[in-house]
Structure 1
Amino acid sequence: MPDHLPPKPDHSLHQLRIRLSSADALPQLTAIGMLIGLLAGGLLILFREIVTGSTSFWQSGGDEHFETLSDLLRLIIPIMGSLIILCLFTCTPIKRRTVGILHVVECLQFHKGKMSFTGMLLQFFGAAIALVSGFSVGREGPAVHVGAATGSLLGQKLRLPQNTLNILAACGASAAISASFNTPMAGVIFAMEVVVRQYTLNSFIPVIAAAVMAAVLSQIMYGPDPAFMVPVIPMASLTELGIAAASACLIGLLAAGFIRLQLWTASKRQQLFINPLLLAGLCMGAAGYFLPAVMGIGYETVDLILNGELMDISFLLTLLTAKLVITALVTGLGIPGGIIGPSLMMGALAAAAFGHLGDLALNLPDISTAFHALLGMVAMMAAVLQAPMAALVTVLELTRNPHIIMPAMFVIVIACLISGRLTARGGLIEMQLNAKGYNHQHSLLNRLLSQKGVATLMSRNFDLLNDSDIVQVQVHASLQDALEIMETHSVEVLGVYTSGKHQQVLCGVITRKAIDSFYR
């Protein structure tokens, strides 16, 4: 057969895929990030409206007023919700039943950023049912899953290079936090610190674009105000900083206890004589029967604390204990909800109670409940997730007050150090990954190879003798994928294929020597 070059692929996305395989495709990635921000933001607005609209069937006061229900309804509704969630899980393949931020991090770090549509649907509807049923879970974790899956699925649908899937999923995650709290900067930092776990210029710009687009949609729908109405906070005295430091020590202990209890509950899930989801419904119903304020995310309670309308120390401590225990139990038993919202409430309760105790002990005039509650919220969030920057930026955007930065940094450091000391320096996500047997410390080489596409190193100058014996790799694959295929088939050269109009078309070759030269 005479030497010849293969026909060029006739595909509108081919050049885009080639461009995105490199590490310098910022304009293209940014444009796609903006699209993901709009899609994810729209989905999360739909999610929020479904929850609010569904809850209004039995609550006249809104989606956080479970105390308006009768004792019997507060007992029954979580049990009914757990049964519906159980049906959803039963109808979902076992491999698609992992949800939440843990699932997002797992997919990005160990499964090349590939997320499933089935898992996203389970998270969307399962979390909606959990929130409508009054479970003590948050909507931010499910929102991160839905947002990240939106980015990943768009990339998979367009068959974009696999080295871009992590960035696209991070765009969706940042859009989720941005739309949930109306805090775009916190969304960006959260995606980088908690989800992607690295800071690179190539991912920062698209993630920022996605967060901005989601925030624009959220503000069009709900206005410019953040999730909480925070009053003006005066400058704190040195005595109040001392109380905040002591409160941060307590919050560090509480965060470690919450993580340990959640992990212990999850480890016992397979040993129970009753279905874990049904048991979660029974526990939630019993807790709601005796203490209505423990139901739901807890944002209404946080608003009351921030505005100085909840001052009873004994009630604060009772609610704190119940919220911590029931949230750890229901999430550990598998209810598809998040822990960020409840952790903010726990932090506010702990700090408010400790602030009042300090006021009683030291007889301080005009102590600021909002000041201590805000510091407690960010300290608890930072300690549970071991995400200090995300928590710091969150409080800055919530308060829009630069004077809060120094006290917030102070309590975050204390709470993270104490919690990390008691949990092997790992947050909840890290500990959950360890419990599943993952080694989260990826080598620098694997990370480097996963960020480059084969199209950047493939050669278009080659002689084709017989393409029937060529081991194939797709043009959207990463260098890590190519190296794994070479190891599996014991070859030194792969043919790089892309989709033509009617068949797969050879568009280049990549060699082991080229990959070796790249990383050396």
Structure 2
Amino acid sequence: MNPITWLKQFASRYFDDLRLRLAARRAPWQLALLGTGGGLIAGVVMVAFRLVTEIPQITFLGSNHENYEALSAIWLLLLPTCGGLAVGLLFHWLRPTDQAVGVVHVMERLAYGEGHLPIKNAGVQFFSAALCIVSGQSVGREGPAVHIGSACCSWMGLKLRLPDNSIRVLVGCGTAGAIAAAFNTPLAGVIFAMEVILVEYTLASFTPIILAAASATTVSYWSFGPAPVFQVPAFSLGALDHLWYVVAMGIGIGILSTVFVRLLVFFSRRLTTQPVWLRMMLAGTCTGILALWAPQIMGIGYDTVNAIFLGELGLQLLLIVLLCKLLATALGLGFGLPGGVIGPTLMLGALAGGAVGALVTLNDPQHSSSPALYAMLGMGAMMGATLNAPLAALTALLELTANPHIILPAMLAIVTAELTCHHGFHTPSVFLKLMEVRGLEYSSNPISQFLRRLGVTHVMDRGFTQLPRHVKRHQLEQSLTAGVRWIQSYEDSRHLLVGADLQRFLATESTTAEDLIDLNELPLPRIAMATISAQATLEGALRNMERQHVSALGVVSHWGTQVLGIITREAIERSYRLPLN
């Protein structure tokens, strides 16, 4: 045999076996390698995204690429207006399906598309988000990075024709890698992916996602150095009796988070009948007008956050920037600008925390904690409450500060803000709320999570065969004695005959071995059947059955030419039903 042909056959057999083991989650080493590769891809994409945004900023703004404060009033107004118009025209020329971008799009594809993310949408996200950031819109880069990294990992899984349960894990790998590379916080990236995107914690997912975050962070280290994006000065915690300030701040930030989410939803429901280019241009114009009072709101605003840590902004300026940033972000994202919400959320938290720190210092200048501490706690509390990610927020603070003393006050601030926002005002996370606005639901109940983890090839019954419509009795008996439990006529691909029913029928018939039996005319019950790809998960199979009103599915090969086995509703239920004894 030709060596090349032999190698192709070997690779084909190996990947077919790998797909079966991945469907049953019995390939931890291979999934770990895939996660590492996905993390490297996410890291490279994040580096490219930063370069695409920072190089134009450095060209026009100088070495401090976020120094929008140096622009004249006319440019503060024109730059975001023209940028919003340019992005709006780009979206105006796109099909509606290609306009779906951001973290909400990733969650929607996980909920309704098994994690299959179109690569074209990722390209739209890359360039449109870069244009938004460069033109000074009040948006972040982490949300777009999550979409782009997840889409690249999903594309890799689709090219390898991996089962959908593995593609879901790869989407988590892309998310973790993007967050880890964005902040140089690998642990926060892991927790964010599990807590916000996948909404599950399993050992099988942890390993590849951890490796993805580590590899993406390594790429970021090589490109930009090991320093985190925020320059956090040394801080000290005042007396423990000052912790009530932290609790009060948590309540205030919980209220702020509620206002922010509801404002964002309010604007997302306005001007929906207007052209997309007009909505985005108006968003840019509003940002420009607000920037006339507070130019610090433009761009991702990390330079402003660092200034807050150093105590360079007074109380009055903090409050003005907070109000303007709140309105600009809610307007921009509500009107559809393809940017991220994570970065603005952190800046809002830092502004609110910095204001609380300034008030505490005015009240008790001798014994108050460092203003940087309150700003950091505000960031964590706002992130935890707005994204419904308290653990990710806590780990991010720990990694950014490298100071374990922040854990106690951070726990108080984050939990208080979380309780105030989600239980006091019944406000879900911003991502779930935006999905709700679109009429979508993100299910995270235990049964759905279990069904997403297993592929259909793990549960399918391989005792299936197809026979001619007219078949001799002895041929039919041979099939049944060979372990066939499902039989289908070549001329009726929509129905199945049950092997046990056929055996009972043959036992009552006095035909000879050579007599022909018409499978389509047998007086036996038939089971309605459709087909499903071997890539699908059990959740996808159950949803397919409900949509097509069938009780069984034929699992077809990746090329759609061969039925590999049969999966029934009862088999799916048995897979998650616990034994009674």
Relative distance call for 1:261 and 1:516 in structure 2 (3 A) is closer
Separation in structure 2 between the aligned mates of residue 226 and residue 216 of structure 1, nearest angstrom: 13
Separation in structure 1 between the aligned mates of residue 569 and residue 241 of structure 2, nearest angstrom: 64
Relative distance call for 1:481 and 1:417 in structure 2 (3 A) is closer
Q: Which amino acid aligns with 2:167?
A: L
| Partner residue in 2 for 1:394 | 396
Separation in structure 2 between the aligned mates of residue 484 and residue 345 of structure 1, nearest angstrom: 41
2:261 paired residue among 243, 259, 262:
259
Find out whether 1:475 has 2:572 as its counterpart.
Answer: no
Alpha-carbon deviations, 1:164-208, whole Å to 9, x = none? 221110110000000000000000000011111111111111111
**Which runs of structure 2 are paired with 1:15-26 in the superposition (5 Å)?**
15-26=17-28
Relative distance call for 1:294 and 1:495 in structure 2 (3 A) is closer
| Partner residue in 1 for 2:50 | 48
**Which runs of structure 2 are paired with 1:47-446 in the superposition (5 Å)?**
47-271=49-273, 275-310=278-313, 312-365=314-367, 367-421=369-423, 423-446=425-448
Separation in structure 2 between the aligned mates of residue 77 and residue 447 of structure 1, nearest angstrom: 45
Alpha-carbon deviations, 1:222-255, whole Å to 9, x = none? 1111111112222331243222222222211111
Q: Which amino acid aligns with 1:517?
A: R
| Aligned residues with identical type, % of pairs | 40
Q: Which amino acid aligns with 1:116?
A: P
Relative distance call for 1:137 and 1:422 in structure 2 (3 A) is farther
Q: Which amino acid aligns with 1:504?
A: T
Alpha-carbon deviations, 1:377-419, whole Å to 9, x = none? 1111111112110100000000111110011001111111112
1:504 paired residue among 561, 575, 581:
561
Residues 492 and 511 in structure 1, CA contact (< 8 A), matched pair in contact too = yes
Structure 1: state its 5+ residue gaps.
1-6
Aligned to 2:61, what secondary structure does the other structure show?
Answer: coil
TM-superposed deviation, 1:320: 0.9
Relative distance call for 1:103 and 1:489 in structure 2 (3 A) is closer
Residues 161 and 558 in structure 2, CA contact (< 8 A), matched pair in contact too = no
Q: Which amino acid aligns with 1:226?
A: P
Alpha-carbon deviations, 1:99-152, whole Å to 9, x = none? 211111121123221211121111111110000000111111111111111122
Separation in structure 2 between the aligned mates of residue 67 and residue 153 of structure 1, nearest angstrom: 40
Q: Which amino acid aligns with 1:510?
A: I
| Partner residue in 1 for 2:575 | 518
Separation in structure 1 between the aligned mates of residue 411 and residue 118 of structure 2, nearest angstrom: 38
Residues 384 and 418 in structure 2, CA contact (< 8 A), matched pair in contact too = yes
- For the pair shown, the structure with the greater C-alpha radius of gyration is 2
Residues 259 and 384 in structure 1, CA contact (< 8 A), matched pair in contact too = yes
Separation in structure 2 between the aligned mates of residue 226 and residue 465 of structure 1, nearest angstrom: 65
Range with greater deviation from structure 2 (330-339 or 365-374): 365-374
Q: Which amino acid aligns with 1:197?
A: V
Separation in structure 1 between the aligned mates of residue 12 and residue 399 of structure 2, nearest angstrom: 48
Separation in structure 2 between the aligned mates of residue 346 and residue 324 of structure 1, nearest angstrom: 7
Structure 2: state its 5+ residue gaps.
1-8, 469-488, 494-529
TM-superposed deviation, 1:492: 5.0
Residues 287 and 328 in structure 2, CA contact (< 8 A), matched pair in contact too = yes
TM-superposed deviation, 1:18: 1.0
Separation in structure 2 between the aligned mates of residue 173 and residue 45 of structure 1, nearest angstrom: 14
Separation in structure 1 between the aligned mates of residue 274 and residue 94 of structure 2, nearest angstrom: 21
Residues 24 and 202 in structure 1, CA contact (< 8 A), matched pair in contact too = no
| Partner residue in 2 for 1:3 | none
Which contiguous aligned blocks of 4+ residues in structure 1 show a shift greater than 4 angstroms? 7-12, 271-274, 484-493
Residues 8 and 507 in structure 1, CA contact (< 8 A), matched pair in contact too = no
Residues 88 and 279 in structure 2, CA contact (< 8 A), matched pair in contact too = no
TM-superposed deviation, 1:45: 0.4
Q: How many residues align?
A: 511
Aligned to 2:564, what secondary structure does the other structure show?
Answer: strand
Residues 169 and 209 in structure 2, CA contact (< 8 A), matched pair in contact too = yes
| Partner residue in 1 for 2:467 | 465
CA-based RMSD of the aligned residues comes to: 2.3
TM-superposed deviation, 1:486: 4.4
Range with greater deviation from structure 2 (446-455 or 478-487): 478-487
* TM-score, length-scaled by structure 2: 0.83
Q: Which amino acid aligns with 1:333?
A: F
Aligned to 1:510, what secondary structure does the other structure show?
Answer: strand
Separation in structure 2 between the aligned mates of residue 486 and residue 292 of structure 1, nearest angstrom: 55
TM-superposed deviation, 1:271: 4.9
TM-superposed deviation, 1:46: 0.2
* TM-score, length-scaled by structure 1: 0.93
Separation in structure 1 between the aligned mates of residue 416 and residue 346 of structure 2, nearest angstrom: 17
Aligned to 1:44, what secondary structure does the other structure show?
Answer: helix
Aligned to 2:556, what secondary structure does the other structure show?
Answer: strand
